[in-house]
C-alpha cells in the first residue's frame, strides 16, 4: 500500500528545496551583479580620480609654463597660446633664448616686438572677453589656467621681424660706445656750465643728454643682470628653487608696478600707506615720481638721476625688501635669494644710479687719480659713511662697497707718488 502522505510530503520537501535553491541562486546572482556594479563604480571612481589628478597636474604645468612665459616678457594673449602645451612653449622659449643672447650683449630688446597675435573672427571663446567696440579682445590668464586643457583660443601667435635678431653688438662694444658718448656729454656739460653766454635752453638740453645716457648705461647693466639671473634660475645645477624664484619675481614686479602707479596717480593714498616706511612727505613723493615711467622690464626711465635714485629707494623700502628678507629666512634658499638679488639689481644699492664711467677706475691694478677724486667727493657728501657704486670692468659691471679706509688708502698712495722717491 502506497504511503500517499509520505509521497506528498516528499514532493512538498523537494518543491520547497527547489524554491529555496531558486531564491539562493537569485540572491547569489544579485550579489554577483551588485559586486560587479560596485567594482565598476570603484573603477569609474578610480578612473575619474586619476583623470582629475592628471587634469590637476596638466593645469599646474600649464600655469607653470605661463609664469615662465610672463617672466620672459610675453603679453597675456601670447602667454595663453604658448603655455597650452610643450610644443608651443618651446617655440616661445626658443624666441626668448635668441633675444636673451642679444640682451647679454647689453642690447635692450622687447620680446613683444618679434611676434604678432593674430585674432580669428568672430571671437566666441568663453575665455576671451570682448572689449568695447574697436578694442582688441583680452584674456583673463587666471581663468584660462583654471579652464579645460582643450580650450579653443580664438587667436594664435605668429613670429615676425626675425631680421631684428641678427648681427648683435657685443656688450663690450655697446658699453664702450655708450661710455664714449657719456664722456663727451659730460665734457659738453662742463663747458656749458662755465660758458656764461650759452643760452639756458641749450644748457638744459646738454644736461638732459647726460641724464639720458647715464640712465641708458645703468639700465643696460640691469637688463643684462635680469637675463643672467633668469637663465641661472633655469639651470638645475644652480640650486635655485625655480618655482619660488618665478613666483616671487611675478609678485614683486606686479607689486612694484602697482606701488609705482600709486605714487604717480594717488600720492595722498601712497603717503598714507607708505609715509612712515619711506619717511617722505606727500609733496616730495609726488615730485619724485612726476616725470618718471616704468617699462615692462621694471626699469625706471625719465626724470633726473636724483629722482630715479629716490624712486628706487622708495620702491625698495615699500616692496622689494620684504619679499627677499622673508625668503632669506628660509633654510636652503641662499641660491634663490642670490638669484633674486641679481634679478632686482636696480634695488641692490641705495643709490643704483651711482655708476662710475668717467675714466678707467684701475690701471694695472692701481686706482686712477680721477677715480680717487670721485670717491673722495662722494665720501665727503656722505659724511664719511660707507656707500656702494657700480664700476664697468672688462665689459661687465661690478658692485663695490666703498669705505673711508679704502679712500684714505688711495689718498696715501697718491701722496707717496707726489712725494717722489
Residue 131 within any structural domain of the chain: yes
SS percent in the chain: helix, strand, coil, step 5: 65, 10, 25
**Sign for the pseudo-dihedral over CA of 121, 122, 127, 132:** positive
Query: By residue range, what is the domain housing residue 391?
Result: 362-419
Domain match, 151 and 85 both = yes
At 230 the pLDDT is 80
Residue 59 within any structural domain of the chain: no
Residue 279 within any structural domain of the chain: yes
Domain match, 366 and 257 both = no
Domain match, 290 and 373 both = no
Residue whose C-alpha is closest to residue 320's, from 336, 341, 334, 299: 341
Q: Which of 320, 347, 374 is the last residue of a domain?
A: 347
At 106 the pLDDT is 53
At 103 the pLDDT is 63
Domain match, 202 and 323 both = yes
- Quickly tell me which residue has 672688462 as its cell: 394
Residue 394 three-state SS? coil
Domain match, 176 and 321 both = yes
Domain match, 220 and 246 both = yes
Q: CA 79 to CA 75: how far, in whole Å?
A: 6
Q: Which of 295, 317, 347 is the last residue of a domain?
A: 347
CA angle 350, 355, 360 (to 5 degrees): 145
Domain match, 137 and 258 both = no
pLDDT tens readout for residues 84-107: 888 888 888 888 887 777 666 555
Least confident of 13-17, 128-132, 323-327, 409-413: 128-132
Residue 21 within any structural domain of the chain: no
CB 144 within 8 A of CB 80: yes
Domain match, 160 and 177 both = no
Mean pLDDT taken over the chain:
76
At 130 the pLDDT is 43
Residue 44 within any structural domain of the chain: no
Residue 248 Cα distances to 9, 92, 161, 312, 361, angstroms = 89, 21, 32, 18, 35
Least confident of 2-6, 244-248, 305-309, 318-322: 2-6
Domain match, 400 and 260 both = no
Domain match, 205 and 275 both = yes
Residue 399 within any structural domain of the chain: yes
Q: How confident is the model at residue 124 (pLDDT cuts 50, 70, 90)?
A: very low
Domain match, 287 and 374 both = no
Domain match, 335 and 186 both = yes
Residue whose C-alpha is closest to residue 256's, from 211, 304, 223, 289: 289
Total count of domains within the chain: 3
Q: How confident is the model at residue 123 (pLDDT cuts 50, 70, 90)?
A: very low
At 307 the pLDDT is 79
Above 80 in pLDDT, residue 47? no
Q: Which of 139, 165, 191 is the last residue of a domain?
A: 165
Amino acid at each position: 500500500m502506497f504511503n500517499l502522505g509520505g509521497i506528498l510530503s516528499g514532493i512538498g520537501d523537494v518543491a520547497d528545496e527547489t524554491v529555496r535553491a531558486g531564491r539562493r541562486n537569485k540572491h547569489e546572482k544579485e550579489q554577483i551583479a551588485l559586486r560587479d556594479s560596485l567594482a565598476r563604480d570603484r573603477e569609474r571612481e578610480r578612473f575619474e580620480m586619476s583623470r582629475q589628478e592628471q587634469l590637476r597636474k596638466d593645469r599646474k604645468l600649464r600655469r607653470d609654463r605661463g609664469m615662465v612665459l610672463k617672466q620672459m616678457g610675453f603679453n597675456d594673449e601670447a602667454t595663453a597660446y604658448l603655455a597650452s602645451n610643450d610644443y608651443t612653449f618651446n617655440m616661445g622659449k626658443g624666441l626668448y633664448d635668441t633675444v636673451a643672447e642679444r640682451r647679454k650683449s647689453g642690447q635692450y630688446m622687447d620680446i613683444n616686438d618679434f611676434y604678432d597675435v593674430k585674432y580669428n573672427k568672430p571671437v566666441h571663446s568663453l575665455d576671451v572677453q570682448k572689449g568695447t567696440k574697436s578694442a582688441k579682445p583680452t584674456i583673463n590668464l587666471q581663468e584660462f589656467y583654471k579652464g579645460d586643457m582643450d580650450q579653443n583660443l580664438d587667436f594664435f601667435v605668429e613670429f615676425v621681424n626675425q631680421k631684428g635678431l641678427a648681427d648683435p653688438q657685443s656688450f663690450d662694444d655697446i658699453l664702450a660706445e655708450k661710455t664714449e658718448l657719456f664722456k663727451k656729454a659730460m665734457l659738453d656739460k662742463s663747458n656749458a656750465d662755465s660758458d656764461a653766454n650759452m643760452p639756458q635752453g641749450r644748457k638744459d638740453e646738454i644736461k638732459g643728454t647726460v641724464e639720458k645716457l647715464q640712465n641708458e648705461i645703468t639700465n643696460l647693466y640691469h637688463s643684462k643682470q635680469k637675463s643672467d639671473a633668469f637663465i641661472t634660475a633655469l639651470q638645475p645645477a644652480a640650486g635655485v628653487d625655480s618655482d619660488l624664484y618665478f613666483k616671487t619675481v611675478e609678485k614683486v614686479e606686479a607689486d612694484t608696478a602697482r606701488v609705482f602707479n600709486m605714487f604717480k596717480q594717488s600720492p595722498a593714498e601712497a603717503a598714507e600707506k607708505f609715509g612712515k616706511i619711506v619717511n617722505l612727505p606727500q609733496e616730495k613723493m609726488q615730485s619724485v615720481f612726476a616725470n618718471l615711467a616704468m617699462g615692462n622690464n621694471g626699469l625706471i626711465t625719465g626724470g633726473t638721476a636724483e629722482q630715479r635714485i629716490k624712486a628706487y629707494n622708495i620702491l625698495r623700502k615699500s616692496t622689494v625688501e620684504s619679499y627677499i628678507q622673508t625668503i632669506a629666512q628660509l633654510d636652503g634658499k641662499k641660491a634663490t635669494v642670490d638669484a633674486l638679488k641679481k634679478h632686482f639689481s636696480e634695488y641692490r644699492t641705495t643709490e643704483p644710479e651711482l655708476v662710475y664711467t668717467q675714466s678707467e677706475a684701475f690701471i694695472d691694478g692701481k686706482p686712477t687719480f680721477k677715480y680717487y677724486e670721485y670717491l673722495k667727493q662722494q665720501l665727503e657728501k656722505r659724511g664719511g659713511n660707507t656707500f656702494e657704486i657700480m664700476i664697468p670692468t672688462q665689459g661687465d659691471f661690478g658692485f663695490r662697497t666703498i669705505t673711508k679706509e679704502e679712500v684714505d688708502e688711495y689718498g696715501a698712495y697718491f701722496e707717496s707718488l707726489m712725494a717722489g722717491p
